[in-house]
Amino acid sequence: MSSHDEFSSDEEEEEASQVFLGYIDAPIDADEQPTIEDTFLGGEPAWLHPDVAPPAELLHCGHCTAPMALYLQACAPVDGTFYDRSLYVFGCKKGGCRRQKGAVRCLRGICKDSRKMKAMETETQEATRKLLDEKLKIEEKKKLAFEVTKDLFGKKEGDASNNVAAANPFGGNPFAQSNPFSQPEADTPFGTAATPFGTAVTPFGTSEATKPSFSEVATRAAPPKAKKIISPKVKLSSFPGSFVYVEAEKLTKVTEALPANVKIDSSALDTAFEAPAAVGGKNTITPEAQQIASMMEDKQFQHFTSVVQHNPQQVLRYDMGGKPLLYTSKDDVARVFVNENKEFRIPTPGFNPSSQRRFELQLMPKAIMDLDSATSDILADGMEWGTIICCTDVEDYIPEDRYTIIEADGEKIEVAYVEEWCGVQWE
């Protein structure tokens, strides 16, 4: 994730980052229901296989055990793999579970359909073959260009000073390419060949510089036959649903926020924060004002607001392997990510203790309004987060005994869900 510094310029212009942002698109209705190739807020989850849901215990609040509601489902395939992959963020709607541990949970699901994976692998091999053919054609053009310039501008054979390169007035090979295999930069990282988000065409992955290799996961043999257990369906609570579209973050360079001749009287702000004076007493600072003042003194919160103001409608931030945009530096979640030595220390996965986790996505405050759009009081259900941060296993691993295996027509489908790390920075 690129750093978000404060910008100053004489003119407004946009600068792209490596982060991808999600925005509300069309509402979900009876005529258009989401699939596993969509990303959406609210609504009902679309499981990776219609007959296999996550274990019931993962769909209940970790505090009160009531069924949770879906906040977000994100189609999130990984570069270099051929299986379906989705992330689910759930939250408890009960006000009593506000700020309680386990009231917000993140699940990662994987579906390995052998027939679909073979087709995708064949398609990838065909694309690779076409690239190789193109490279060979380019090499032939390079050889032809070399011979032409040699015949036209080269010196006679036997001349000790014969130097084709020096005699070539073009100074180089006009047909050369630095990397004939290079691919055009994707608009968003959220798609697969089947365009999971409806707008993208490349995997929802990371940059080559930061992503881990998942080739062993993608090409490993099918795991030993697990117990064939069809997960029970849990009746979940729900919010109004909306599809989400994704595009690269753009940061606008702006001039000074206020004209040079405009000043803010800090004493006026202090007066605004004062509560009415008690009889015979002095004015006091209200608890709300104290909280606001504390937040405004937090450089991390200032950084959060300065970044979000460039794209205030964002409901989702995605930056696999990057850094989350922390809402505050003063809670336990912030201390998980940055310790006294400024080092990240995300907890390792319990289901894969030899591995580690990476940041993948976070939900933003704007999502609260969109989720609870049908309710007059958006805080009535206890939703008052600053951000919800989700981190996933870098190996994208799921223990073999957690797979549900379905066999049909000689083909095998393996489906599994695990809980990933989820941290909530509350308002």
Mean pLDDT in order along the chain per 10 residues (427 residues): 43 69 94 94 95 94 95 94 95 90 96 84 73 82 77 57 47 45 50 40 38 36 46 81 95 61 52 52 59 73 95 96 93 84 80 95 95 60 84 96 89 94 94
> Which residues lie below 8 Å from residue 301, measured CB to CB, with a gap of 6+?
295, 327, 328, 329
Is 86 a member of any domain? yes
- Using DSSP's 3-state secondary structure scheme, residue 240 falls into coil
Strand ranges inside 13-123, DSSP E: 13-27, 40-41, 69-75, 84-91, 104-113
Q: Structure pTM?
A: 0.70
Bridge partners (DSSP) listed for residue 41: 72, 242
Q: Does 232 map to a domain?
A: yes
Q: Quick count: other Cβ atoms within 10 Å of Cβ 176?
A: 11
> Within a domain: residue 130?
no
Over the range 257-286, which residues count as b (16 or more CB within 10 Å of their CB) and which as e? eeeeeeeeeeeeeeeeeeeeeeeeeeeeee
Q: Give the residue carrying structure tokens 């209940």.
A: 60
Q: What is the pLDDT of residue 260?
A: 55
Containing 413, the helix (H) or strand (E) segment is strand 411-426
The Cα–Cα gap between 343 and 346 comes to: 10
- H helical segments located in 276-409: 287-297, 299-308, 332-337, 366-371
pLDDT of residue 8: 38
Predicted pLDDT of residue 130? 78
Strands annotated E in 218-297:
242-253, 274-275, 284-285
Sign of the Cα pseudo-torsion (11, 310, 317, 336, in order): positive
- Among 308, 269, 306, 309, residue whose Cα is nearest residue 289: 269
The Cα 168–Cα 154 span in angstroms is 7
Of 295, 426, 324, 314, nearest to 366 by C-alpha is 314
Q: Is residue 355 part of a domain?
A: yes
| Alpha-carbon span 298 to 69, nearest angstrom | 32
Tell me the chain's radius of gyration from C-alpha atoms. Answer: 27
What is d(CA 267, CA 404) in angstroms, rounded to the nearest whole number?
Answer: 64
Q: Which two tokens stand for residue 183?
A: 């691919």
Has residue 73 been placed in a domain? yes
Residue 193: per-residue pLDDT = 38
The domain of 79 spans: 20-118+187-251+313-426
Residue 11, in any domain of the structure: no
What pLDDT is attached to residue 197? 40
Return all residues near 214 (Cβ < 8 A) that are at least 6 apart: 78, 79, 80, 81, 395, 396
Grouping H, G, I as helix, E, B as strand and the rest as coil, residue 293 is: helix
Is 417 domain-assigned?
Answer: yes
- Number of domains the chain contains: 1
**Three-class SS of residue 84?**
strand
Give yes or no for a contact between 405 and 228, defined as CB atoms under 8 angstroms apart: yes
> Is residue 292 situated within a structural domain?
no
